[in-house]
A and B are shown apart, each in its own frame.
Chain A
Amino acid sequence: MADDLKTPLLDELEKGPWPSFVKDIKSLAGKKEMAKDLLRQLEKSYEDKRGYWKHGGLVGVMGYGGGVIGRYSALPEEFPGVSHFHTLRINQTSGWFYTADALREILNIWEEHGSGLLNVHGSTGDLVLLGTRTEELEPTFRALTEKGWDLGGSGSDLRTPSCCVGPGRCEYACYDTLSLAYNLTHAYQDELHRPMFNYKYKIKMSGCPNDCTAAIARSDMGIIGIWKDDIQVKPDAVAEYVDSGLDVQGLVVENCPTGCIELDGNEIKIDNSNCVKCMHCINVMPKALSPGKERGAAITLGAKAPIVEGALFGSVIIPFMKLEEPFEEVHDLIERIWEFWDEHGTNRERIGEFIERVSLATFLEGIGEKPLPQMIKAPRDNPYVFYEEYYAEEGEGEK
């Protein structure tokens, strides 16, 4: 370890059995002044109990408005290694599949042009390359694009679409998340690279309600796999679980949130009309139960972290959509939403805040969708929008 690096407070974070970002950054400190000064500045932050990063500053590469997050040290004389410390978001592959060679390619480029530090993957889904100087941005971008990589989104644009591993490994997938993420990324290159929205727009795709991308909480638009018909049951396999001593009554039947499963000896019966598709029973007995055969996705809108309004979960806007290539129905929906949000939304207003402001009824009318009973905050909850007026008006029109 570099001898001239004294970071007693940070060193505390190397203790314990878990991974340590201090250990990681130190592994590069012998090689990179940037990594060393990053640790020094962070140590000072811990001593003084305040951050020493200046926020923002627009930096980017030619032709793109997004993909680079500008970051400067507030103490550039003391810590010249991090006077510039810009982040690059690199568009990840669908489902995060890489060859070792591809990752080595990224590492080599980044050790040459930046700090060598990566965050793989960030909450956005991208490969996050942490820390480079303004004058290195174009050369890094060139080196990356020569090898077929591209920047992801940042700022008020379409953020890099992100999906779960889906049918790549997981039998629960109700649609091909990998293809849809790839398809949307290519269809909306302009929206991804050249910010022109009111604010960010994140699309996350999960193949089933287990929602491994946390789309329900972390994406303006969540596309979450679901089925319409009955849960598929293999009676023999159920019997095997019971015989093997699994407490089906306690762990499955009694944990079903709507109490719609019955166990009768070695047999289970599911009242599918009352199933809310929480995945619990399927997760406990994957060999016996699986999602139905009529598969597609539910689409949610509006999740976000707290900025203007408090944190929001997404709520259902489309209860069920079949998802098959070339995914025209999804494109059509996305474009109607963007158009209405663009026309009537205000600067820095996320889609969820926008819907709260104008009301769901107005929003649905604006994008040309009909109100449905599924558009409620939680299953079996009261609808949070009242449609009397809406229906009265429509009824009168038809007469």
Chain B
Amino acid sequence: MSFEFSGKTYETDDDGYLINLDDWNQDVAAYIAEQEGVEMTDAHWEVVNFLRTYYKEYSIAPAIKILIKEMKKMFGPEKGNSAYLYNLYPAGPALQACKIAGLPKPTGCV
């Protein structure tokens, strides 16, 4: 699958996750977010930027537990909790924020 945006074609998997990590930029992220019904604020970008930094370092998206912990470290306890993250990304920080951050779809058992 793929989609067109600003005159460029973006390859995606069946669920709309970007195939190439390097295709990603802020504009296309905002576009994917719009398709998801998410309006990006500074708070949203904090999460997306963290996910990309982490992925570049470890080649894997962080477990939710680590995401929460790191958010707590960087931005304090009012942002380092799951209710806050689900408020920003109602479909789930794993599924939705990874999509907007241009990371592969997280897999999960059960």
A interface residues, Cβ below 8 angstroms from B:
55-58, 60, 62-65, 69, 154-156, 190, 194-198, 342, 347
Contacts and interface: CB of A to CB of B under 8 A. Distances in A.
A136 to B, nearest CB: 16
Interface of B: 63-65, 68, 81-83, 85-86, 90-92, 94-95, 105-110
Given A56-B108, A56-B109, A58-B95, A196 B90 contact: no
Nearest to A195: B64
Q: Does more than half of chain B's interface fall in helix, strand or loop, or is it mixed?
A: loop
Contact of B109 (A55, A62, A63): A55
A58 B92 contact: yes
Contact of B65 (A55, A56, A57, A342): A342
A362 to B, nearest CB: 20
Contact of B82 (A60, A62, A196): A196
B92 A65 contact: yes
A124 to B, nearest CB: 11
B83 A190 contact: yes
A259 B74 CA distance: 61
Given A196-B65, A197-B65, A63 B108 contact: no
A65 B86 contact: yes
Nearest to B93: A65
B63 A347 contact: yes
Q: Does more than half of chain A's interface fall in helix, strand or loop, or is it mixed?
A: loop
B92 A196 contact: no
A228 B83 CA distance: 41
Given A58-B92, A58-B94, A60-B91, A194 B82 contact: yes
B110 A69 contact: yes
A58 to B, nearest CB: 5
A190 B105 CA distance: 24
Contacts of A155: 108, 110
27 contacts: A56-B107, A56-B110, A57-B107, A57-B108, A58-B92, A58-B94, A58-B106, A60-B91, A60-B95, A62-B91, A63-B90, A64-B92, A65-B64, A65-B94, A154-B110, A155-B110, A156-B65, A190-B83, A194-B83, A194-B86, A195-B82, A196-B64, A196-B65, A198-B65, A342-B65, A347-B63, A347-B65
A65 B108 CA distance: 11
A64 B95 CA distance: 11
Nearest to B107: A56
Contacts of B63: 347
A55 to B, nearest CB: 6
Contacts of A197: 65
A149 B91 CA distance: 20
A342 B105 CA distance: 24
Contacts of B86: 63-65, 194
Contacts of A195: 64, 82
A71 B2 CA distance: 25
A69 B108 CA distance: 10
Contacts of B64: 65, 156, 195-196
A132 B56 CA distance: 37
A63 B64 CA distance: 15
Contacts of B95: 58, 60
Nearest to B109: A56
B90 A62 contact: yes
Given A62-B91, A65-B82, A69-B110, 17 more contacts: A56-B107, A56-B109, A56-B110, A57-B108, A58-B94, A58-B106, A63-B90, A65-B86, A65-B92, A156-B65, A194-B85, A195-B82, A196-B64, A196-B65, A198-B65, A342-B65, A347-B63
A65 B110 CA distance: 11
Contacts of A342: 65
Contacts of A190: 81-83
Contacts of A58: 92, 94-95, 105-108
Contacts of B92: 58, 60, 64-65
A273 to B, nearest CB: 45
A198 B64 CA distance: 9
Nearest to B106: A58
